[in-house]
Amino acid sequence: MNTPRSRKGASPAADAAPRSRGPIVLGVLLFLLVAGIFLPAVTDAFISYDDPVYVTDNAHVKAGLTWASARWAFQSTEASNWHPLTWLSHMTDVELFGLQPWGHHLTSLLMHALNAVLLFAALRRMTGALWRSLFVAALFGLHPLHVESVAWVSERKDVLSTTFWMLVLWAYALRADAARSRGPGGPAFYGLALLFFTLGLMCKPMLVTLPCVLLLLDCWPLKRWDGSLGGARRLLVEKIPFFALSAAACAVTLYAQGRGEAVASTEDFPLGVRTANALVAYCRYLGKCFVPARLSVFYPDLGDQPPFSDTLLAVLLLAAITVVAAAFVRRRPYLLIGWLWFLGTLVPVIGLVQVGGQSMADRYSYIPLVGVFVMAAWAAEDLTSTWAHQRGVLGLAAGAVLASLAALTSLQLSYWRDGTRLFRHALAVTPNNWVAHANLYATLSRSSAPEATAELRETVRILATVAETHDRKGVELERTPGHTQEAIKEFRAAVRIMPDIAEPHYNLGTALAKMPGHMPEAVDEFRAAVRLRPDFADAHFNLGTALASMPNGRDEAVTEYETAVRLRPDNYPAHLGLAYLLSGIPGRTSESIAEYQAAIRLRPEFYQAHFNLGMVLSGIPGRTAEAIGQFEAALRAKPDLERAREMISRLRATPQ
């Protein structure tokens, strides 16, 4: 595999092309085609989904390019990401176009067209296959799945980071050529690739998989690996700076997303659920790659595990493709390389680390689909290599495919004209899409449209229904011995989906209080419940009980118990708990006695209230007889209560 790379990898029929300026002309035509198809995006408006965070309501971005805003860009983790160059890009647009959306859209579509040309240049440099490289770049530029990355101003980070991704591929290919020919420039191109990679990570951390892609390209088409262990070690060593940058970007991203509370815990999303969702998502991306229909700005996923049959079919499909690609690795290496490109570059966003509530997103396929496009383009050429009219047939087929994609992309672009159209389309193609309902409400409410309230009600209904399902399941699990941990997961899911409902917080707090070491978390949940529903007597009581068990929690516990008995005067445990706490506070003994008496009126047969009241009274001069009476009442309720007998004997033996 260490033979010098040549242009012989492409068939003369398929890849014959004009020399000299021919590729440049094709690149210009590709740029104009992609930019022309996406040009209608310049008439799109800003939308209510994330655009306010990134541009329209962001004071730092709206200030344009200033020293203060630039300093903020490098220090900020707003939007749960550290991407300073993305912020600077938005600021530059504001500097040039103000808050006119056409300018922001124009920048994104020009970057997308440039990315297609850079992909064409990099693939041609690495493979020598002109027409196949052009076809892959055209697929990339015209595919409807990429509309979201281009038409959504907030996804500037996608197109901008990919510009640097493609520049890394281009510089790395030049470096490989220089190293192969032992000519000058190899170290310079290596440094350039490292610089572009650094800049790309400062736009979007999804580029962390790029070092792995470079290793794949070393195998094919660059053929830099000779199959030996030493050769593999050499290639790995030269990637150490790239992997170090990826590790640093991962650490910074996890920190930023942790600060923004964007990363779901394993209790909210167990690893088994994440894995099943990831397997199904891979197949859904493949499906939408070949049949790009029913695309949505948001695909709702509220943490439910997909059916076992779906997961099994996903495993079988992914395994079958992997086995076939591996079986043909010697004769058709592009199959395995393209497949691993697709699988690997999706890893950061496939859901193993769950960020947000979406099951997938069109924008996540922006780079990964290149691997699938390479598989398709090279396989088509190989499968038709013996055809007499190969070039004409492939040309017609490619033209038909690209024309179809261009038509579908134009249709998808039309949905991004404004927020109303975008979110109505999302509701038409996805069920129970609460994000679409919520953003449609936000869009309609600006114009005081009468249907805005209906969208808000529907948002609340969907979330409340799903949250109630998790909450009900948690209650059932908690009633089953040994299933408290599973109940906690369900309650957490309910709280995450609908954090403004008190009951899931209360149920979660109750379950946490049963688990050793989780009392502080239980207190937080009970506090959330009483904040959301101040008249929630049981939540006040449980909060008081939890606080009473914690150091320095007595005073607040008293307040919570007092609230509980005020809201529900028949709350026997609250009277009893309040009485017990008051008995230990100097100057509040009479209040303690009154609370014990209230508890006894509610439950005269319960011995504990009689015994505790007897203990309080026994310490008050002149009330010994009353104390003895309470201990006797405790004995009547519980004849084997030896402590009551001892107290009666002691009090009668004590001189009055």
Whether the per-residue pLDDT at 9 is higher than 60: the answer is: no
pLDDT for residue 5: 40
Whether the per-residue pLDDT at 14 is higher than 60: the answer is: no
Number of helices (H), then strands (E), belonging to the chain: the values are: 32, 0
Query: What's the rounded Cα separation, in Å, for the pair 44 and 141?
Result: 19
Q: How confident is the model at residue 57 (pLDDT cuts 50, 70, 90)?
A: very high
DSSP 25: H
Query: What's the rounded Cα separation, in Å, for the pair 152 and 161?
Result: 15
Over residues 594-607, the mean pLDDT reads 89
Q: How confident is the model at residue 51 (pLDDT cuts 50, 70, 90)?
A: very high
Q: Cis ω on the peptide bond leading into residue 499 (within 30° of 0)?
A: no
pLDDT for residue 168: 98
> What tokens were used for 478?
């908690």
Q: Helix, strand or coil for residue 358?
A: strand
Over residues 165-179, the mean pLDDT reads 94
Over residues 76-105, the mean pLDDT reads 95
Short-list 561, 610, 608, 555, CA closest to 584: 555
For the stretch 212-217, contacts whose Cβ atoms lie closer than 8 Å and that sit 24 or more positions apart, written own/partner, are 212/344, 213/341, 213/344, 213/345, 214/168, 214/172, 214/239, 214/242, 215/239, 216/337, 216/340, 216/341, 216/344, 217/126, 217/169, 217/172, 217/337
Query: What's the rounded Cα separation, in Å, for the pair 645 and 656?
Result: 19
pLDDT for residue 6: 41
Tens digits of residue pLDDT in 512-556: 999 988 999 999 999 999 998 999 999 999 999 999 988 888 889
Tens digits of residue pLDDT in 277-302: 899 999 999 999 999 999 999 998 65
> What tokens were used for 76?
């900020």
Q: How confident is the model at residue 304 (pLDDT cuts 50, 70, 90)?
A: low
pLDDT for residue 365: 97
Whether the per-residue pLDDT at 114 is higher than 70: the answer is: yes
Max CA distance (Å), the chain: 122
pLDDT for residue 183: 74
pLDDT for residue 10: 42
Tens digits of residue pLDDT in 369-421: 999 999 999 999 999 999 989 999 999 999 999 999 999 999 999 999 999 99
pLDDT for residue 20: 59
Tens digits of residue pLDDT in 126-151: 999 999 999 999 999 999 999 999 99
Whether the per-residue pLDDT at 265 is higher than 60: the answer is: no
> Higher confidence at residue 628 or residue 338?
338
Short-list 588, 586, 577, CA closest to 543: 577
Q: How confident is the model at residue 12 (pLDDT cuts 50, 70, 90)?
A: very low
